[in-house]
Each structure stands twice: as C-alpha cells, then as structure tokens.
Structure 1
Amino acid sequence: MRLDKFLAEAGLGSRKEVKQLIKKGVITVNAQVEKKDKTQVEPESDTIAYAGEILHYQKYYYYLLHKPAGTISATEDKKDRTVMDLFKSQDYRNDLFPVGRLDKDTEGLLLITNDGQLAHELLSPKKHVDKEYLAQVAGVMDRADQQRFREGIPLDGEPTLPAELMIDAIDEERRTSTVRIILQEGKFHQVKRMVKACGKEVIYLKRIRMGRLSLPNDLAKGAYRELSREELAQLKSSE
C-alpha cells in the first residue's frame, strides 16, 4: 500500500493533506523519516508514525449512533446540523457516512461507516433486510390497516414491498395508536406515507432495529459508539 493512502485511511486527512505531512518530514516508517508519498508500506508489519505517535491501520469503521430529532442524515449540510456533527474530532473521518436516511424529526438507530459494500447490502430491497420502527400514530390502526401493509401500499406509482404492522397499544379516548412497523426497503418518508395512506398520521417515529442489530437501551440520544465484534457479526449476518 502507498504511504499516502495508508495515512489517509488512518484518518490523518485527505490524500492531498497527508502528502504535505510527508513533505514536512513528520512521518516515519520503521523509525526512519520518509518523504516520498509513493513509498510502499506493509500495514501489518511496518511501524508507521506521525510526530512520534504510532498509527494503527484499520480499513473499515462501524459506529452505532442514536440519532436525535433535529439532525440531518447526511455528511454535511449548509443549514442544519448533521449526524456527523455529533462526532468527536478524534473519531471523525472524511470517508464516514450514514447508512440510509432517517427524516430530520425521526430518532433512533443509524449506522455510520466507511464500508460501502456493507451499506449496499443493508439498503438493497433485494436483500430483504428488516428495518423496524416504533411509531406513535394519531388515529386508531386496525386489522384492515395490517392487511394493507401486508399487501403493499401504492407509493410513487407502484406498491411497496409487503410490510408488517404490529399494533402494540390503542388509546380509544385519545384516538391514538402505538405500533411497530417492519419494512425491507427505504422509500422517501415511507413509514409516514404508508400510515397516511391508511388515513392516520405519524406523530413520533423511531427506528429500533436494522437486520439483527437492535438499538441498545443504554445508548443516549445523540451518543454513538463503535460496534462490538458481536454486533458487527449480527449486522453482517443480516445481509
């Protein structure tokens, strides 16, 4: 692997930025200053350091974020705070991105990674990966709505894939419902639009599961952490 590529993937900056670091003589390979960005290194065996600090190579990063309402599922936005703005400087990398989108007012589980292949596997409708949501609904959902979800509801000129609607609680006095919805695709505002097609309205929405990975109860809103090996295995087994 080229030295500049290693440094960029180690999180020191863009390829252009790390080339400047190399020229400044602050990068060492096996305790020797290296000033050529094209130098080939072996990440597993060479000792590469920046200003005396040894760098450890890790190609892919996986973070579990509890997205709070009011943040945008994007890497950058000129108007609103993004989920990447929640990251501490020592964890932030230019190549990290959210897997899929949650609406600005939607909370819950959001995977942040730089593994494009895994993201594709999790998001492709052909892979049938479950995305489970908890919703508070204005209106009383019933068996007829459940049947419509199972059959698929027309959106954008074609029916959605079959989805599961589970009714957890009904408040007859307030005419509200607490439901869980499992989808295997991610159309724009899909949960809200499917519920609206049934004559009701989503007033609160939270994603609680993706594949076999569930949102931990002890992860506060706005907090994130790296996936454990077990969680990553669960996620990959969902592909």
Structure 2
Amino acid sequence: MNEIRLQKAMADAGVTSRRKSEELILAGHVKVNGKKVSQLGTKVSPHDEIMVDGIPVEREKLVYYLLYKPRSVITSVKDEKNRVTVMTFFPDVDERIYPVGRLDYDTSGAVLMTNDGELANQLMHPKFKMEKTYQAKVRGIVTPDDLKRLEAGVVIDRRKTAKAKASLISTDNVKKTSLVSLTIHEGRNHQVKKMFQVINKPVMKLKRESYGFLNLDGIQPGKWRALKLNEVNRLKQQVMRNAK
C-alpha cells in the first residue's frame, strides 16, 4: 500500500506547508480515521480519512500545469475587483489549483499552477533559489556597465538584490529602447521593474520567459500544458539541490 507521512499528505492536499502541518499534528489538531494523532512518524494511505480541527481534508491527485499568462490578468485565485484571474483559463480542471508565486497584472509569461502545497512553498521560498528569466523592453540604450550593475545587484527597498544574469538582446537606436534578458532567483515585489528603474531604464513591457527549466515553447498566451512526470521530478530534484 502506498503510504506517506501524515504531514506530507496534508501539504500535498494544500492544507498548509509541511512544517506548519507538523505543528498542527504536534498541537493535537489532527485526526486520522477518527483518532487524534500527535506523532510525526505517522503514515497514511490514500484511503485514510484525515481531519484538521474537525474539518475533513480533501485529498486529490497532484497536478502541475504551466500557463502562459497574458497581460491584464491577475495571478490569484480570486480578485476583489472581479478582474480576470489565472483561474479563468482552467474551467475544466477539478483540482483546487493555485498559482505558485505572483506575476504582475501588466506582465505576461510563465506561471506554474498546482495543488502540490509542499512543492509550491519550496519553489516560492528564497533559499531554494529557483531561477526565473524575464525579457524586458526598456526605455534607453542599455550599456555594458548597466548589465554589470544588474548582475552584481542593485539596492531596491533599502536592500541589495542577489546576483543575477543579464544580457542585451537588441537595441533600437531610433526609438531609444533596449531588449534585455534578466535571470533572478528572488521574488521580491516588482523586483525586475525596480532593478531597471535603479539604472534609469524604466520597463515598458515585461515577460517571464521561463520558470526554472520550464519555458513557453509551443504555448500561446492564455493557454497551458500539463507537466510531464519527468519534469515534475526534475523540479523536485532541483529544489533539493538548491537547498544544499
């Protein structure tokens, strides 16, 4: 029988992270098949009933999708202003998926969608250093010195950004614009836009080209594809490597 640790089953079901699940177990908030569990070594099968504070945990198969988010779409499950969210593109998906991290309303590109709570939390945590590559169209002609500054890190919100990878794709000397590729592993608020603002090259248009090794090849805006099993395993392996 395929058994896994209780805290992992809770994280997989989207209850919370594995660490928070462990805290709930130790605090006596969790029952398995009607019996309170307070030991972290407990294992459960797909047929066991898990309850947290009397509420049944709905266990569903884990799914993973890569979405090409268009501009003018909110990267959230719901929006209080009733704007279009990423959930609009998944009307026939029954699992309770959600976006991993955020992508600005006016930014297009790769967004990972899943119901795997544990992996989602790992991918979003800075210590796991998941690389994300952006293509930015900016005002002004980007110089080699500008690229060096971006790569070395610039100060935004009173804190220096981590080292990055930056390269110049093209320039338009007539319109005075540049196209730049920037790879970062942090996920600070509006980070890419703020980094370009520091070098006085404001962003005109921004697209996330890839999330880790996952890119948008063959995917049109507003469309998505399911990740293959080997891609999911590779994501998990990459997270573990980056954690060391």
Deviation at 1:210, TM superposition (A): 1.4
Query: Which of 86, 90, 95 lines up with 2:89 in the alignment?
Result: 86
SS of alignment partner, residue 121 of structure 2: helix
Aligned partners of 1:92 and 1:143: how far apart in 2?
49
Q: CA RMSD in A?
A: 2.6
Deviation at 1:218, TM superposition (A): 1.5
What letter is aligned with 1:214? N
Aligned partners of 2:45 and 2:196: how far apart in 1?
53
Match of 2:19 in 1: none
What letter is aligned with 1:91? V
Aligned CA distance change for structure 1 residues 127 and 42 (closer, same or farther; 3 Å): closer
* Structure 1 residue ranges without an equivalent (≥5): 10-37, 45-56
Aligned partners of 2:80 and 2:206: how far apart in 1?
25
Aligned CA distance change for structure 1 residues 42 and 196 (closer, same or farther; 3 Å): closer
Deviation at 1:174, TM superposition (A): 1.3
Match of 1:155 in 2: 156
Task: Check conservation: 1:63, 1:225, Cα contact below 8 A.
Answer: yes
Deviation at 1:156, TM superposition (A): 1.3
Q: Deviations over 1:44-98 (max 9, x none)?
A: 7xxxxxxxxxxxx85311111110111101110022111012212x30433x110
2:222 is equivalent to residue 219 of structure 1: no
2:239 is equivalent to residue 236 of structure 1: no
Higher Cα Rg: structure 1 or 2? 1
Aligned partners of 1:144 and 1:194: how far apart in 2?
14
What letter is aligned with 1:71? V
SS of alignment partner, residue 233 of structure 1: helix
2:75 is equivalent to residue 73 of structure 1: yes
Aligned partners of 2:201 and 2:45: how far apart in 1?
58
Deviation at 1:180, TM superposition (A): 0.5
Match of 1:60 in 2: 62
Match of 2:99 in 1: 98
2:185 is equivalent to residue 181 of structure 1: no
Match of 1:142 in 2: 143
Task: Check conservation: 2:133, 2:210, Cα contact below 8 A.
Answer: yes
Match of 1:111 in 2: 112
SS of alignment partner, residue 193 of structure 1: helix
What letter is aligned with 1:85? T
TM-score by length of 1: 0.73
SS of alignment partner, residue 237 of structure 1: helix
Aligned partners of 1:222 and 1:59: how far apart in 2?
24
Aligned partners of 2:45 and 2:152: how far apart in 1?
54
What letter is aligned with 1:237? Q
Match of 2:207 in 1: 206
SS of alignment partner, residue 195 of structure 2: helix
Q: Deviations over 1:89-144 (max 9, x none)?
A: x30433x1100100001111100111122112222221221110111111111111
Aligned CA distance change for structure 1 residues 147 and 97 (closer, same or farther; 3 Å): same
Task: Check conservation: 2:60, 2:95, Cα contact below 8 A.
Answer: no
* Structure 2 residue ranges without an equivalent (≥5): 4-8, 14-32, 35-43, 48-58, 240-244
TM-score by length of 2: 0.72
Aligned partners of 1:64 and 1:210: how far apart in 2?
9
Task: Check conservation: 2:63, 2:95, Cα contact below 8 A.
Answer: no
Deviation at 1:42, TM superposition (A): 6.1
SS of alignment partner, residue 150 of structure 1: helix
When structure 1 is superposed on structure 2, of 148-157 and 65-74 the one drifting more is 148-157
Aligned partners of 2:205 and 2:175: how far apart in 1?
15
Aligned partners of 2:170 and 2:119: how far apart in 1?
35
Match of 2:56 in 1: none
